Amino acid sequence: MRVSVRFFAMYRERAGTSQVDMDLPEGATPEDLMARLRSAFPSLPTGSSALVAVNSEYADPKAPLHQGDEVVFIPAVSGG
């Protein structure tokens, strides 16, 4: 299946792009996708503090993805 990934903030800077399409096996999860993305873009952060959204809604990182989903990884934000 093919999903679309959008990068924002630090993820966009480190990946060098704002969007990429990825082919994944059926039943893959956002966690699986992030592992694949880290292989393709080794400079992506390795911590698990990112939130994930699928089709504009926050999602469980262990929930299965589906053909055509749009996945966004949202880096943790800190500040005051």
Average pLDDT rounded to a whole number, residues 8-32: 94
Residue 33 and residue 11 in contact, taking contact as beta carbons nearer than 8 Å:
no
Query: Which residues, other chains included, contact 6 with Cβ-Cβ below 8 Å and sequence gap of 6+?
Result: 18, 19, 70, 71, 72
Structural domains of the chain, ranges and CATH numbers in brackets: 2-74 (3.10.20.30)
Q: For the whole model, what pTM was predicted?
A: 0.88
Q: Could you read off the pLDDT of 42-57 as tens digits, one per residue?
A: 999 876 678 899 999 9
